[in-house]
């Protein structure tokens, strides 16, 4: 028998900007007690691991403010805009971040980026049959782009040099698909 859903008794917005919203809920649990519950809403996001050929992928490196890091590589990722499909968002991010578009996107995973306090769903793709097509990056994005052998990227994941969850999941799915 599935768990009994909690009931939201009240919900109060706390903070919002163009990337996220924070709210504070009072929720009633199945036993009748109440609890304070914070929820951060990000919406939907996408990531695409672009294969420039059968054995090489394009990755980006940028400064990540939260971790004060600028040395980690990741695949192109970003948010889905209002009214935009996840596929269209993946293609846009690919153009903005690495200057390519993909003729073929293969969906490989849909998952929740955090299962308890964040409301965000990620859609991951592999991109194939790339051609040059650039869009300007967002005004807060400054990228370095490089092409890597896929096997090296898989090793970077295995050594935890790549720590971005979206990239880790995409690389592991790609490795699984390549071995079948």
Instruction: Say which CATH number the domain at 60 has.
Output: 3.90.79.10
Write out the residue range of the structural domain in which residue 73 sits. Answer: 45-110+121-178
Predicted TM-score (pTM) of the model is: 0.91
Does any domain span residue 129?
yes
User: Per-residue pLDDT for 63 more than 90?
Assistant: no
Q: How many domains does the chain have?
A: 1
Percentage, residues of the chain above pLDDT 70: 100
Does any domain span residue 17?
no
Mean pLDDT across the chain: 93
Confidence of residue 155 (pLDDT cuts 50, 70, 90): very high
DSSP run (H or E) holding 154: helix 150-158
Return the exposure string of 54-69: e unless at least 16 CB atoms fall within 10 Å of the residue's CB, then b. Answer: eeebbbbbbeeeeeee
Q: Residues 116, 39: contact at Cβ < 8 Å?
A: no
């Amino acid at each position: 028998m599935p768990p009994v859903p909690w009931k939201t008794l009240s919900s109060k917005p706390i903070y919002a900007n163009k990337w996220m919203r924070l709210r504070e809920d009072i929720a009633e649990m199945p036993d009748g007690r109440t609890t304070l519950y914070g929820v951060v809403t990000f919406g939907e996001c996408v990531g695409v691991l672009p294969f420039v050929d059968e054995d090489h992928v394009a990755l980006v490196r940028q400064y990540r403010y939260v971790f004060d890091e600028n040395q980690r590589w990741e695949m192109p990722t970003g948010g889905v805009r209002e009214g935009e499909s996840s596929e269209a968002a993946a293609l846009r991010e690919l153009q903005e971040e690495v200057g390519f578009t993909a003729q073929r996107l293969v969906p490989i995973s849909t998952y929740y980026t955090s299962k308890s306090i964040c409301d965000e769903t990620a859609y991951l793709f592999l991109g194939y049959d790339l051609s040059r097509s650039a869009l300007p990056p967002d005004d807060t994005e400054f990228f370095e782009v490089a092409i890597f052998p896929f096997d090296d990227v898989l090793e970077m994941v295995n050594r935890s040099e790549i720590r971005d969850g979206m990239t880790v999941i995409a690389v592991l799915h790609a490795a699984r698909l390549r071995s079948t």
